[in-house]
A and B are shown apart, each in its own frame.
Chain A
Amino acid sequence: MRVLVTGATTPLGIEIVHQLLANPHVDYVLAVGLEPDAVAQSCTHARFTYLPLDLTRARAVHDLLFGPARDLRIDTVIHGALHRSTQATGAKVHALNVETTRQLVLESLRHPTIRRFVHRSAGEVYAVRATEPNLIDEDVPMELDPRAPQWVRDRVEADLTVCAQLGRSPLSIAVMRCAEVLAGGTGSQLWDYLQSRVCLRPIGFDPMINLLSPEDYARAIVLAARSSATGVFNIAGADTLPLSRVVRHAGRRDIPIPGPFLSPLYRLRRRTIGLEFRYDLSSHRFHLGGMLDGSRAARELGFLPEHSLWPAARTAPAPGFLN
């Protein structure tokens, strides 16, 4: 397997590159990122090349695919170059999130060597509503509300752009809708939320949250790259627990307050302190939860999460009442 990885300079991209290089079935990794040599410094490997590239430039993407990628006989693309900041909006952000995805998948369709396309999507593309199940499978409606922030809209559009090509050509496509990875630099809203010492949440609600570790995330992507299974796959993490417990495990103080106050308070906090966390992106989840159902990925990709974010807490014995 010879793999092109986009978004390779992000923490998750770096983890994917490392897992690919540790895999004996991977012959070569061509990594692409915006930074000049971030990955190259951390990884010197005979089977590895890093190319700094601005993927928002259509010509650069074309030249990458029909230049180095063709010369290196790349057969698999793992695409995950998405803007991570929720504050970033506008045409340039949309170009990276959506137009680059569109170009990559369309040009992969007619590429002489690429046969597999893995798109790193996110669980945020789903609409979280009371009428939808606690467990979100791949058939749950997507968030198509035009009032949704660009961060969500772009992810939905990129996801649908790739889904539109499913089954239309010999290119085998996997869309990986992953649960939230609780790690810095990944665009995780929950991570940004937990950066405050005091975490406010809606009073009267304590929904179940599912979290994915960076190791499991990368392992799922590598499994998808190696598999020939096509379609959409939800990737759930090993940790399922109430929001209040997440806050507690992160060593933060959990203060429930009436829901209507949360949005203005977090907006004020963002403007004064400059936090990345946007409550409007998470309000549905903070009320209703919404966890990904990873059954299909378990069945067809053989993926089961293994790494807990809080292994010590997991080993705590269950209360004795039921026994």
Chain B
Amino acid sequence: MMLGSQFRDEGFGYDLFGMHPIGVERALRIGLPLYHRYFHVTSHGNSNIPANGGAILVANHGGILPIDAAMLWIDVLRWTARILRPIADRFLPLLPFANTLLARAGVVSGTRANVRRLLEQGELLAIFPEGVSGPAKPYRDRYLLQQWRGGHVELAIRHQVPIVPAAIVGAEECWPLLARMPVRLFGVPYLPIPWTLLPVPGRIAIHYGAPIDLHRRYQPDDADDPAVLANAAQETHDAVEHLIARGLAERAGS
């Protein structure tokens, strides 16, 4: 697939959310050496990512900065030539510089209307249902899924798109959290204190699972049923947990 065919230019070289081809290129130029030579990312099961149409990638989240999200973004671009639209927490637009740099690469603030529009456009989204609770967890809890919010299943059912579970193994050791300082700056809920000044080199493995076709089992109106959402969210939780376990087992065996 041509990357350009996914880019919805609003007339001045930017899409509605501020993504810009040069921003994508710059992010890739910075990220690719890290992807290959610093984090040695390996990709498993990337054929499960739909080649086109709207879909939601759901993954675990950890580490201080979203290194896992960045590696996932590059991995999807590398193997499917699709520009992943990671959904960021709502404090992102308040962060100076980061908000613009990330928006140019395709990151979108996680409000319901933004996500709805992206799915209507047939974009591939990445949602981390743990939200901030993932990166905020102590190192001893690494790879233990935290509070698993159900917004992603509601979106998938309402917009009739598949969910692709993914596990990112290795990112949590790259830059672990030492402590959280209760300093609220630019809307960020805490100030992270890392174990190391910079992320340490490591090996990150990304495992994609088979798509969960909630849209085949449920009608859009079922997105209003709390029981349906709870069951579906549990299903995606279990799928990601299973992939994490598989990734950790493979890492231990290698």
Is there contact, CB below 8 Å, between A135 and B114? yes
* Closest CB in chain B relative to A23 CB, distance in Å: 27
Q: Does A148 contact B (CB under 8 A)?
A: no
- Docked complex: B89-125 residues within 8 A CB-CB of A: 90-97, 99-100, 103, 108-109, 111-114, 117
Evaluate whether A241 and B14 lie within 8 angstroms (CB atoms) in the complex, with A137-B113, A322-B3 already known.
yes
- Which chain B residues lie closer than 8 Å to A224 at the CB level? none
Q: Does B30 contact A (CB under 8 A)?
A: no
Q: Does B13 contact A (CB under 8 A)?
A: yes
Residue interface bits A299-323, CB-to-B below 8 A is 1, else 0 = 0000000001000011010110111
* Closest CB in chain A relative to B102 CB, distance in Å: 12
Q: Does A131 contact B (CB under 8 A)?
A: yes
Q: Categorize the interface residue count of chain B.
A: 35 or more
Is there contact, CB below 8 Å, between B16 and A291? yes
- Docked complex: A17-51 residues within 8 A CB-CB of B: none
Is there contact, CB below 8 Å, between A323 and B100? no
Among candidates B17, B18, B90, B99, residue contacting A204 with C-beta atoms closer than 8 Å: B99
Q: How many residues of A contact B (CB 8 A)?
A: 38
Is there contact, CB below 8 Å, between B11 and A319? no
Evaluate whether A322 and B16 lie within 8 angstroms (CB atoms) in the complex, with A133-B111, A240-B11 already known.
no
CA distance A207 to B90 in the complex (A): 15
* Closest CB in chain B relative to A299 CB, distance in Å: 12
CB nearest neighbor in A for B91: A130
CB nearest neighbor in B for A317: B13
Is there contact, CB below 8 Å, between A131 and B100? no
Is there contact, CB below 8 Å, between B112 and A314? no
Q: Does A253 contact B (CB under 8 A)?
A: no
Evaluate whether A322 and B24 lie within 8 angstroms (CB atoms) in the complex, with A130-B187, A131-B90 already known.
yes
Q: Does B198 contact A (CB under 8 A)?
A: no
Evaluate whether A319 and B13 lie within 8 angstroms (CB atoms) in the complex, with A132-B111, A133-B109 already known.
yes
CA distance A203 to B96 in the complex (A): 7
* Closest CB in chain A relative to B222 CB, distance in Å: 22
- Which chain B residues lie closer than 8 Å to A206 at the CB level? 18, 100
CA distance A321 to B10 in the complex (A): 17
User: Which residues on B are within 8 Å of A, measured CB to CB?
Assistant: 2-4, 6-7, 9-14, 16-18, 21-22, 24-25, 90-97, 99-100, 103, 108-109, 111-114, 117, 187
New contact pairs (9) apart from A133-B114, A204-B95, A208-B103, CB-CB < 8 Å:
A130-B187, A133-B117, A134-B111, A135-B114, A239-B10, A239-B12, A313-B12, A318-B7, A322-B2
